[in-house]
Structure 1
Amino acid sequence: METGDGRGGGAEEEEEEEEQVMSEVHLGCPPRFSGLYVSRFSFSSRPLGPSAGSDGGECSGVREQVAASSSSCGSPDAVTVDEDGDLVLDRRRNRGRSDHVLTVQHGITSSLRSVGLQVWKAALLLTDFVLHKSFTSSEFNGVTAIEIGAGTGLVGLALARVAKKIFITDRGSDILDNCLANVQLNSSMLKFDEAKACVRELDWKMSWPPPVFKCDSSDPSSKYLWYTSEIEAAEKATTLFAADVIYSDDLTDLFFSIAKKLMSHGAEKVLYLTLEKRYNFSMDELDVVANGYKHFRSFFTVQDESGALDDNSCRPDFVGEQMDLAEVPQYIREYDRGKDLEMWKIMYNPNPE
């Protein structure tokens, strides 16, 4: 679900005062649980049947979860719950299709400023896309990529299985610490070298290249600064990923600002972006609208399947093509796609006519 806000968390006392939000993905978690949790998302090399796809059918799987402390990823006893938070006995588990497991430490609820601690549907969709490509083609084999607003780092973890290097980026020590914990939780299970999954701070408000690493024992967050060699590698990246980073106009402005900085340096890059349209009643428009969606669409010219562009007279710096979700099979069992997810392939257009 990745965070998307690129700004990180605030002080604990501010967190307590702010309104809490919860991802629909976490509806099966035990109610009234506070702190970090570990969920295990199962998948195999074969996609699920159509009942678990984008037609809104409910997933039949259950989610294994364990409580986790904020300072470590210990291994307490596992607890399995169904969608209502009720205990599922071991004899009811169905592991027949689950060849692999993504283990993700996350919060069940958070303030808006720390939504990167939760898992969101759009991140699971983008992870499905990465898994599909890795199982059916060599497109992402040996790729260098950047995940922007990574949140829990779910997409980057899936890509690390086949990539040469994946930079998992966000901002805020709480979110970055959690990303690093998830890399450590999954490297052995998914069989990738932890050095391939590089957790780094990327502040959308800052210029590119970002500040270079300087050893500072008084600042624990300095370990997330970039090395010069990493900046050079990131500029050679050919693929960017972002999930659920579109939910306010201000953040959308910042997101496309950092996307332009990254895509205008070094190798030609393609951005794969997933989002969930969230509807609310607007007093200004006296209608139900998806927050931030219209503003998001203003940043790029739409290209159809034939390659033709729409008649957007302002000719933005990006060209986008909406992808057909029917061509992205569902591999991860523990979520229902519903009807409000979208996926876009976006290219940088340095010379709009």
Structure 2
Amino acid sequence: MEAGGSCSGRVGGAEAAEEYQVMSEVHLGCPPGFSGLHVSRFTFSSRPLGPCGVCDGDGSSKSELVAATSGSCGLPDAVAVDEDGDLVLDRRKRKKDVRSDYHVLTIQHGVTSSLKSVGLQVWKAALLLTDFVLHKSFTSSDFDGVTAIEIGAGTGLVGLIQARVARRIFITDRGVDILDNCLANVRLNSSMLKFDKANFCVRELDWKMSWPPPVGTCDPSDPSLRYFWSASEIEEAEKATILFAADVIYSDDLTDLFFDTVKKLMSSGAKKVLYLALEKRYNFSLDELDVVANGYAHFRSFFTVQYECGHRDGTSKPGFVGKQIDLAEIPQYIREYERGKDLELWRIMYTLDQKQQ
């Protein structure tokens, strides 16, 4: 998804301000009427949450929302507020309540956005995919030491977690404001999550231009050149073995562009697997006189489904093969969201030979 944000609290200019505004359920606890950027702190540990899915002993499941102040892209001077906008006083915790494996993921984001800038926000599917990456890192070495790419990264949430174990992580999206916000989140989290910022690469990837992206000279001081790719970075990215994408399925046109980009990327260099999380979104259709998830149906048309027995349906376009991951096998680690029934996680491969698994 596209995302935007800067230290000024700007949300996309005059044109975007006139557009219809949307809000993620993840941000429902934000103070009503508060504009600009926020910082939310999402908490996790190596021990998954209990059966209720939202509490780990103290019954708490609410995100701590912090109003970001202008003038700094680092940790802002801030005051914590609850969902009613009241101040949250910092109280000293007893030592027995402090968990040694307790971690905080700090994300700068918008509270509302236009449809063109939905990546300003944190969405449920990104938190689901983050849980999946955490689970892999806690229970296996599958993601250790790999080169990975997050496509349509928005706030960069998933890539930040993968950076804890990756050799190299490319965070990609479109637009300077979007990528500036990703970079701000890298700076906010590198110390707490203990990853090397040098292993992190924030780059622009416009799906309309597909893969490979234009090569240029990166100049951090020039916003128009700040996120250009070098030839060596493109070569390194093509050696990636894992791709991540969350909440990129919400427009048929963008879905077309997304799969075109992924196809070219997965056809280059090393063999890759795409882990994609989404939330099915329903709209009323005049053609069908019913509430349907048309965007979801279009997404499913791009790949053949592989079932547990190895059988594939034969109704889809060649090349992509997808297998749905059972969410019951992925414990919840992030406290500050409820999954709901419309979230899905897919493992998608691309092969030139349809007979290959």
Partner of 2:155: 152
Q: For structure 1, which runs of at least 5 residues remain unmatched after alignment?
A: 54-58
Partner of 2:326: 324
Deviates more, 1:129-138 or 1:315-324: 315-324
The secondary structure found in structure 2 opposite 1:275 is strand
Question: What amino acid is the match of 2:35?
Answer: S
Partner of 1:173: 176
Identity %: 76
Tell me if structure 2 keeps the 8 A contact 1:160–1:192. yes
Distance 1:218 1:157, change over 3 A: closer
Partner of 1:21: 22
1:27-75 alpha-carbon deviations (Å, 9 max, x no partner): 011111111111110000100011016xxxxx72332232224653254
Partner of 2:257: 254
Tell me if structure 2 keeps the 8 A contact 1:62–1:80. no
- Separation in 1 of the partners of 2:53 and 2:87? 22
Q: How far off its partner does 1:77 sit?
A: 4.7
- Separation in 2 of the partners of 1:220 and 1:16? 22
Matches within 5 A, 1:208-223: 208-215=211-218, 219-223=222-226
The secondary structure found in structure 2 opposite 1:208 is coil
- Separation in 2 of the partners of 1:261 and 1:129? 25
Tell me if structure 2 keeps the 8 A contact 1:40–1:101. yes
Q: How far off its partner does 1:220 sit?
A: 1.3
The secondary structure found in structure 2 opposite 1:169 is strand
The secondary structure found in structure 2 opposite 1:37 is strand
Partner of 1:341: 343
1:128-154 alpha-carbon deviations (Å, 9 max, x no partner): 000010011101000100000000000
Partner of 2:7: none
Distance 1:66 1:217, change over 3 A: closer
Deviates more, 1:202-211 or 1:326-335: 202-211
Q: How far off its partner does 1:241 sit?
A: 0.2
1:49 maps to 2:50: yes
- Separation in 2 of the partners of 1:142 and 1:135? 14
Which residue of 274, 278, 287 maps to 1:275? 278
Instruction: Say what the alpha-carbon RMSD is for the aligned residues.
Output: 2.5
Q: For structure 2, which runs of at least 5 residues remain unmatched after alignment?
A: 5-9
- Separation in 2 of the partners of 1:215 and 1:162? 26
- Separation in 2 of the partners of 1:93 and 1:197? 34
Tell me if structure 1 keeps the 8 A contact 2:67–2:80. no
Partner of 1:197: 200
TM-score scaled by length of structure 2: 0.90
1:300 maps to 2:316: no
Distance 1:5 1:107, change over 3 A: closer
Tell me if structure 1 keeps the 8 A contact 2:75–2:188. no
Partner of 1:73: 73
- Separation in 1 of the partners of 2:324 and 2:73? 38
Distance 1:258 1:93, change over 3 A: farther
Matches within 5 A, 1:74-153: 74-91=74-91, 96=98, 99-153=102-156
Q: How far off its partner does 1:166 sit?
A: 0.6
Tell me if structure 2 keeps the 8 A contact 1:62–1:81. no
Question: What amino acid is the match of 1:65?
Answer: L
Distance 1:217 1:339, change over 3 A: closer
Number of residue pairs the alignment of both structures matches? 345
Q: How far off its partner does 1:212 sit?
A: 1.4
- Separation in 2 of the partners of 1:10 and 1:190? 28
Question: What amino acid is the match of 1:335?
Answer: Y
- Separation in 1 of the partners of 2:352 and 2:106? 39
Partner of 2:231: 228
Tell me if structure 2 keeps the 8 A contact 1:149–1:170. yes
Deviates more, 1:84-93 or 1:290-299: 84-93
TM-score scaled by length of structure 1: 0.91
Q: How far off its partner does 1:84 sit?
A: 4.7
1:299-346 alpha-carbon deviations (Å, 9 max, x no partner): 00000012111132x542200001100111100000111111000000
Question: What amino acid is the match of 2:25?
Answer: E
